[in-house]
Structure 1
Amino acid sequence: MLEGIAPALVLIVGLALAFDYINGFHDTANAIATVVSTGVLSARNAILMAGVLNFGGALLGTQVATTIAKGIADSQFVVPAVIVAALLSAIVWNLITWYFGIPSSSSHALVGGLAGAVVAQAGRGALHTAKLEEVGTFLIVSPVVGFFIAMLLIIVILWIVRHTAGHRVNLAFRKLQLVSAGAMAFTHGTNDAQKAMGIIALALITYGKLHTHGVKVDVPVWVKLACATAMGLGTMSGGWKIIRTMGAKIVKLRPIHGFAAETASAIVLFATAHMGIPVSTTHVISGAIMGVGASMNVSAVRWGVAGNIVVAWVLTIPISALLAAGFLKLLAPFF
């Protein structure tokens, strides 16, 4: 698989898997915060479930990986130093936001880092502007879509169960939330693990180890398995600070609300993964949780916490781009 390759390629593969692992524990909360906060599952069991389903979801499809590998910039300008700088930028930003318990976007960090490093290396002309605008639009629109789908879904569900006793509703949705949390975890793996696959595929293309067929990138099986494993293991290591923020600090949830938020998020993530659009699972589930909370009572949402999350959303791309440009300058003498 990796015989006779350059040390820089080994470094890139290692960093991509490290990013994938960090993405797993950084974004664990996306899949399980609501199911933990509603008391349906213990954190331990929820993390184990999410880890297994993240692994399975990571093996489904390569559309997002193709976008990362070929859609962001011209491959000829993506030299090894650019890829390393982008990965270091995304890893550093993920660790900073994890440390402070801020649910930021690994997708934003990676796309911003890659774009920033490419611009620093070859100028803006090296970027695929149209594709970046499409990705950027979906990164902004997807949490809004999650917000309104979740709001509509919870309103419909509450209308359906309006004549049912509260304890029966709670019991039913404690079971149903296992399904919705599982779907969220699976689609999280489908969307997020493919980002690391795309980076490794991009590096393999750069070194002539992988040949593309038109617009499609045939990601090697070993890359899929390695990224799925890293994502699953990262998820199983947990991300307690972000779990607390996502599961309790935005709005207090019951199983019926958790089911609506997770189902809405899974719908958005499955659709965007199918279209090959790398969106933020963090932003989508955050938007869905806010939508559920707003449907109950606008004042039920802790908008101060939500505001901090939005600030992190806005800052992630420019900061990761600047970090990547800085890393590129530091790395240039060694490549």
Structure 2
Amino acid sequence: MWLWYDTYENLNGGEKMSIALIVTIVLVMGVIFVNGWTDAPNAIATAVSTRVLRPNFAIGLAVIMNFLGALVMTYFNAQVAETISNIVNFEAQGLQAAQVALAASLFSIVVWAVAAWFFGIPTSESHALIAGLTGSAMALGGVAAVNMAEWSKVLVGLIVSTAIGFFGGYLITKLVVLCFRNVPRRKANKFFTYGQAFGAAANAFLHGAQDGQKFMGVFMLGLYYNNLAEKTGNGFTIPLWVMALCSLTMGLGTSVGGMKIIKSVGMDMVKLEVYQGFSADLSAAICLFLASVLGIPVSTTHTKTTAIMGVGASKRLSSVDWKIVKEMLFAWIMTFPGCGLIAYLMAKLFVAIF
């Protein structure tokens, strides 16, 4: 059931709540845009690095598939959005404080993501989102504000996506080499070229399915704290207009580009041949699809980069530029405490001011 009100006075908390809602929606759109800008290029990085797809065409493909992934997958299965909307509880100090703290968490994610993009480091927007929500909620209600039953899915996703991404990339590459050892190189490369183009599209689609849903869950929280949405069971019924708005915003963000991220993930970390790019895309797509169906929020960046590492390691460990890997690992590790701390401080500040 959806409740819409025509005037500010009918909103819980009056005009301040209306302004807080507007700010929250703008920030959610900003975070989704930044996600499409900085995170979505990971899906097409390998296809660009192996020259299967031209950069401009690949970005256009990612725009379309991100939009479709966020829209279609959410329509049929919104479990990831449900997990995100239940991962913390902002209501310890009332709905107005909850709305303000939610806005603070989104502000911290934008700061963190833009800083990562500036340095060309493919940090995970998913991890930043979870860290931001957790830090802000703890600013209001302490550790009790964290729903560990839902948070445990994040830890499971972190471990599982690493394992499936890395070992999947490693094993699929070994299997591909074995199966195509007697196939003429030109014929095999033709197959892998089409296969990798399809894999890039699938990864972009599943990126939209995963990350699009996560931010839709946050969007619904903003509406809920303003009495504009009601929970049904453990989650929300996400209306089509929210799906379309979030999907379109992510697509627009992707259209901005992201060659810095493509260079870091697809070119600098490992020098890939076409069959290796195909193996990395297939491994990442399998992991993301399983996680989306099971409602486990995983990092698309984390999954794709570990798959590329596994592919490189299948040839020899020295094929991987471990310096780049260390920088990425450091960024991933720092995201939880770093973005979480920013969100905690911002929530304290925003609640005190507003």
| TM-score higher than 0.5 | yes
Shift of 1:81: 1.4
- The aligned runs of 1:286-301 (5 Å cut-off) are 286-301=305-320
The worse-fitting range, judged by mean Cα deviation, of 282-291 and 123-132 is: 123-132
Residue identity in the other structure for 1:280: S
Q: Does the 8 Å contact 2:172/2:283 carry over to 1?
A: yes
**1:9 and 2:28 matched:** no
2:198 aligned with 1:179: yes
Structure-1 separation of matches of 2:57 and 2:137? 41
2:116 is aligned with what amino acid? T
Q: Give the match for residue 50 of structure 1.
A: 62
Inter-partner Cα distance in structure 2 for 1:291 and 1:47: 25
Alignment partner of 1:114: what SS?
Answer: helix
* Cα deviation, residue 44, structure 1: 0.2
**2:303 is matched with which residue?**
284
Deviation at 1:42, TM superposition (A): 0.7
Aligned AA for 1:34? T
The CA deviation string for residues 244-285 of structure 1, in whole angstroms up to 9 with x for no partner, is 000111100111111111111111111111122211000000
Contact 2:113–2:123 at 8 Å: present in 1 too?
A: yes
8 A contact 2:101–2:351 mirrored in 1: no
* 1:112-261 to 2 correspondences below 5 Å: 112-261=131-280
On the 8 A contact 1:146/1:264 being kept in 2, the answer is yes
Cα deviation, 1:82-119, whole Å, max 9, x if unaligned, reads 11111011111110111000011001101001100111
Return the match for 1:40 from 49, 52, 63.
52
Amino acid at match of 2:223: L
Q: Call closer, same or farther: CA 1:4–1:162 in 2, change over 3 Å.
A: farther
**Take 1:54 and 1:148, find their aligned partners in 2: how far apart are those partners?**
26
Contact 1:138 1:277 in 2 (8 A): yes
Q: Which residue matches 1:19?
A: 31
Does structure 2 retain, via aligned residues, the 8 Å contact 1:293–1:300?
A: yes
Say which of 125, 134, 157 aligns to 1:106: 125
Quote the Cα distance in structure 1 between the aligned partners of 2:287 and 2:139: 33
Query: Runs of 4+ in structure 1 displaced over 4 angstroms?
Result: none
Tell me if structure 2 keeps the 8 A contact 1:117–1:324.
Answer: yes
Q: Distance in 2 between matches of 1:67 and 1:80?
A: 19
SS in 2 for 1:30: helix
Tell me which residue corresponds to 2:85: 69
CA drift at 1:2:
7.8
Per the alignment, do residues 140 and 2 of structure 1 end up closer, same or farther by CA in structure 2, a change over 3 Å counting? farther
Q: Distance in 2 between matches of 1:228 and 1:158?
A: 37
The one-letter amino acid paired with 1:324 is: A
Deviates more, 1:37-46 or 1:201-210: 201-210
Change (3 A) 1:186 1:3: farther
In the alignment, which residue of structure 2 is the partner of 1:85?
Answer: 104
Give the superposition deviation at 1:14.
Answer: 1.0
Structure 2 CA distance for aligned equivalents of residues 28 and 188 of structure 1: 7
The answer to whether the Cα contact below 8 Å between 1:103 and 1:242 also exists between their aligned partners in 2 is yes
Root-mean-square deviation (CA, aligned residues, Å) is 1.4
SS at match of 1:54: helix
Bigger mean CA offset, 139-148 vs 108-117: 139-148
TM superposition shift of 1:4: 3.6
For 2:161 and 2:90, the matched residues in 1 are separated by: 27
Change (3 A) 1:222 1:334: farther
Contact 1:143-1:286 within 8 A present in 2 as well: no
How far residue 25 of structure 1 moved from its aligned partner, in angstroms, is: 1.0
Q: Is this contact kept in 1: 2:90–2:141, CA < 8 A?
A: no
TM-score of the aligned structures, taking structure 2 as reference length: 0.91
2:313 and 2:229 map into 1 onto residues whose CA distance is 48
Rounded Cα–Cα distance in structure 2 between residues aligned with 1:138 and 1:153? 21
Q: Where do 5+ consecutive residues of structure 2 fail to align?
A: 9-17
8 Å Cα contact 2:46-2:277 kept in structure 1? yes
8 A contact 2:136–2:340 mirrored in 1: yes
Q: Which runs of 5+ in 1 are unaligned?
A: none
Give how far 1:75 is off. Answer: 5.1
**Aligned 8 A contact 1:89 1:113 in 2:** yes
The amino acid of 1:76's aligned partner reads E
Is the contact made by 2:131 and 2:340 (CA closer than 8 Å) also made in structure 1? Answer: yes
Seq. identity, %: 40
Deviation at 1:137, TM superposition (A): 2.8
The aligned amino acid for 1:231 is M
